[in-house]
Structure 1
Amino acid sequence: MTGQFETRLGELGVTLPDAPAPAANYVPYVIVGDMVYVSGQISNNGGDLITGKLGDNMDTAEGAAAAKTCAISLLAQCKAACGGDLDRLVKVVKLVGFVNSTADFTEQPQVINGASDFMVEALGDTGRHARSAVSAASLPLGVAVEVEAIFQIK
């Protein structure tokens, strides 16, 4: 049986992928009590990295689309942390977004809106969260965006 959140994702044309494996010596998430801390998820499209630098060879809309892919991976990690039952998700508590951007690029919030807007579109009020959006001189593997999250689960 598909739960309410995955039904909504399906209506949006999104199927959660398998949770991506970590690329180094860390775990994809840590559960402490009813909180899940998810490691940063990098921008990718079906396993193909979305690389680039905002303010140089990517525009804000492309960055927002890359941030949305990070949000999808974050939900995949949350689902894994919930034993496959995404309906255990109570709240998206916080997102922290990193944008690979030039020194003069100032639209980091609009880029990370790609992740934030998706969380609210897919999860309704459960997806409303606190957030930070910061610039980075570079990100792992040259990706455009990386987003980490804190979720509350039951």
Structure 2
Amino acid sequence: MARYMLIMRVSPEAEAGFAESDIDFSEIIEQMGRYNEELIKAGVMLAGEGLAGPEDGFVVDFDSDPPVVTDGPYTEAKELFNGFWIIDVSSKEEAKQWAQKCPLGPGVRLEVRLIGETDQFPQDNPWIQKEIQWRADLAEKAAEQARKAAGR
């Protein structure tokens, strides 16, 4: 299996078009909900989130020392990163199929990227070993929280 991130990018024109349209936002939520449900039922969805607007974020620019922090919105952005999904699928082809099913419209793109796995790095590196242990610790913590929640 391979994990892929589907990154939703929306152009300013698409945002303006949506704002001017009379599309019911609850219909969009319903379409996304059906898509998410399909991913979940297929057993491929690991995560998916929408993001708040850029006015609530900031950019850290590492072109100087110390890095410069600039509050949003980002006037230089041509497309905004509005949300993402992380899916676990058998192949790049399957990731393409899921991406093509996403209920998005004109002016919106999905950038699909393979997520690197720790086994792709030198296993004798102490930082890779720490990363593997951190992931194991997080999995155990999540399992413990699930056990506690089930016991309520």
TM-score, reference length from structure 2: 0.29
Task: Write 1 or 2 for the structure with the bigger share of helix.
Answer: 2
